[in-house]
Amino acid sequence: MERPLTGRMHDDGRPVGFDEYRRAGGYEAARRALTEMEPSAVTELVQEAGLKGRGGAGFNTGLKWSFVPTGDDAPRPRYLVCNADEMEPGTFKDRLLIEGDPHQLIEGMIVAARAIGAEVGYVFLRWAYRKCERRLREALAEAREAGWLGEDLQGSGFDLDIHVHVSAGRYMSGEETGLLNALEGGRAVPRSKPPYPQQSGLWGKPTVVNNVETLCNVPHIVRNGAEWYQGLSRAESGGTKLFGASGRVRRPGLWELPLGTPIREVLEEHAGGMREGYRFRGLLPGGGSTDFLVDEHLDLPLDFGPVQEAGSRLGTGTMIVLDDRTCPVGMVHNLETFFAQESCGWCTPCREGLAWVRDLLGALEEGHGHADDLELLSTHCDFLGPGNTFCALAPGAAEPLKSALQYFGDDFRRHVDEQRCPWKEA
């Protein structure tokens, strides 16, 4: 099984250095993109490969790039922003990619920047990722030294520099427009789309925001072609994906697997199944802001389409497993506390609604639940839907709650009926 993203990484946690990366064929894709291919051909190739955004939304990356206005009268400068603000609960895949193989990301950014004609790149990095920052800065210096960044890259006439911006640390900074506002030095509040960042992004200029993992896929596509990339996958969407599992499984971790790998295979073969004495009850397939899947979904292939059809989202592909000795209400309360805290406060439903949800769940957990609280929670789920709120934060926050009410409704009702959390010691 090919593991293009993680195959070169060292088990002892050392990063892949510049020379090592070069020896493994690194920067060949960048060279090809800079000197042999038209920018539009790069975009077409990536589009054809079917690379879908790995940050959670799953939008075709090449298609996203194609919306950037090009041509002589197109606005300049243009920007490429790498979203490395990884704040999704349960998600740590981008960290692995940056820490383990920073040049892979840099090369991906060079190719992407070439495709959209961006002369400046930013890596918007989660504040807590200190090691990532260090390694990334070292790698950027190496790349610059070797002529892969700066002016006239490898004699191609193309200029690119990449800056690392360490975020102040808000979940909202991971939303692409909130990220752009934060990068401009403003409040991390989202922007209303349209206009999309490709038209009016960073400082009002055409901008593409891509996730770390997305960009890391790009060099491999350019090097090996779309067909190869499609062939990596066991499903409709191309490529491999980093899948993770956390919770009471035997071997929590992160694995690069073909897209379309069934959930059961990830859980049982890679995560080693449930820990002794714990029974599986459900999982959030792609981070905290996705809907629960339960037993009946375990044979689903982990790909964007099938997971969506099952009522959830592939999201970041890093699943959080709920076991029978953990209170589902408590788990959702924990998540909603996070989302309420991370609401930027721009729109009313998210700012006030999530805080209310948090308090309602807290009351259930404390044994103060009211009979009509469940209906009120359900109303919140409906009214925090897409379109009602300004951005996707609150709809995402509503997903685990809505599905928990669906699959674990009896547990919620027991909290009310017994006026206590049944999972807590009496």
Partner 1 sequence: MRIHVDGRVHEVEGDGRNLLEVCLSLGYDLPYFCWHPAMDSVGACRQCAVKQFRDEDDTQGRIVMACMTGVEDDMYVSIDDDEARRFRAHVVEWLMVNHPHDCPVCDEGGECHLQDMTVMTGHSVRRHRFAKRTYANQDLGPLIRHEMNRCIQCYRCVRFYQDLAGGTDLQALAAHDHVYFGRHDDGTLESVFSGNLVEVCPTGVFTDKPLASHYTRKWDLRTAPSVCPHCSLGCNVTPGERHGELRRIRNRYHHDVNGYFLCDRGRYGYGFVDSDRRVREALAPRGEDTPAQRLDPADAVRRVAGFLDGDRPVAGIGSARASLESNLALRRLVGGERFHAGTEDVLHACARRAVELLRGPVRAASLADQREADAVLVLGEDLVNTAPLSALSLRRAAERRPREEAIASGIPVWHDAALREQMQDRHGPFHQLTPFGNELDAIATTARHAPPLQLARLGFAVAHALDDDEPAVDGLTDDERSLVGTIADDLVAAENPVVVSGASCAEPAVQEAAARIAYALGRRHERPAGLSLVQPEADSVGLALTGAKPLAALLDSMEAGEVGTLIVLESDLGRHVPADRLRRALEGLDHLVVVDHTAHGTGLRADVVLPAATWAESTGTFVSSEGRAQRFVQVFPPAGTTRASWRWFADVGRGLGRGDLDFTAVDDVLEAAGDLPHAEELHDLGAPVPADERVPRALHRYSGRTALAADRDVREFPPPADPDAPRSFSMEGFAPDAPAAATPEVWSPGWNSVQALNRFQEEVGGPLRGGETGRRILRPDDGGTPDPIRIPDASNDEDSTAGLIVLRRWRLFGSEELSAGSAPIEDRADVPTLDLASSDAERRGIEEGTEVEFGIDGARSTLRARIDPTLPTGTVALPVHAPDLPPPAAWPARLRIGPGGEGS
Residues of this chain that bind partner 1 (CB under 8 A):
170, 172, 187, 191-192, 194-195, 199-200, 203-204, 340-349, 351-356, 359, 363, 370, 372, 376, 379, 383, 387-390
Residue with Cβ nearer partner 1 (163 or 193): 193
DSSP 155: G
**Rounded-to-integer distance, Cα 379 and Cα 248, Å:** 31
- Smallest separation (angstroms) from partner 1 to the CB of 292: 24
* Residue 262 or 349 with smaller CB distance to partner 1: 349
Q: How far is the CB of 367 from partner 1 (least distance, A)?
A: 15
Answer yes or no: are the C-beta atoms of 319 and 90 closer than 8 Å. Answer: yes
Q: Please, which residue, 172 or 215, has the CB nearer to partner 1?
A: 172
In the complex with partner 1, the residue whose CB is nearer, 298 or 363, is: 363
> Residues 148, 155: contact at Cβ < 8 Å?
no
Query: Between 341 and 419, whose beta carbon lies closer to partner 1?
Result: 341
Phi first, then psi: what are they for 316, rounded to 5°? Answer: -90, -5
CB of 352 to partner 1, least distance (A): 4
Report the candidate in 260, 265, 263 with the shortest Cα–Cα distance to residue 239: 260
Of 172 and 332, CB closest to partner 1: 172
Q: What secondary structure letter does DSSP report for 14?
A: P
- Quote the least distance from Cβ 416 to partner 1, whole Å: 14
Record the tokens describing residue 421, joined without a space: 């959390």
- For residue 374, the minimal CB distance to partner 1 (Å) is 13
- Provide the minimum distance between the beta carbon of 88 and partner 1 in the complex, in angstroms, as a whole number: 17
Helices 130-145 and 102-116: crossing angle in degrees, nearest 10, is 60
Nearest alpha-carbon partner for 175 in 343, 336, 52, 352: 343
- As measured in angstroms, the least distance from the Cβ of 350 to partner 1 is 9
Nearer to partner 1, 127 or 228 (CB): 127
Give the position of tokens 């009850």.
281
CB-wise, 120 or 314, nearer to partner 1?
A: 120
CB closer to partner 1, 19 vs 419: 419
240 or 389: CB nearest partner 1: 389
Distance (Å, rounded) from C-alpha 411 to C-alpha 294?
A: 15
d(CA 61, CA 278): 39
Residue 274 CB, shortest distance to partner 1, in Å, is: 35
**Which amino acid makes up residue 340?**
A
Nearest approach in angstroms of CB 375 to partner 1 is 10
The DSSP H or E segment spanning 263 is helix 263-265
DSSP readout, 184-246? TTS------SSSPTTTS-GGGS-EEEEEHHHHHHHHHHHHHHHHHHHHH-SSSS-SEEEEEEE
182-196 CB burial, b ≥16 within 10 A, e <16: bbeeeebbbbeeeeb
SS3 label, residue 346: coil
Q: How far is the CB of 311 from partner 1 (least distance, A)?
A: 19
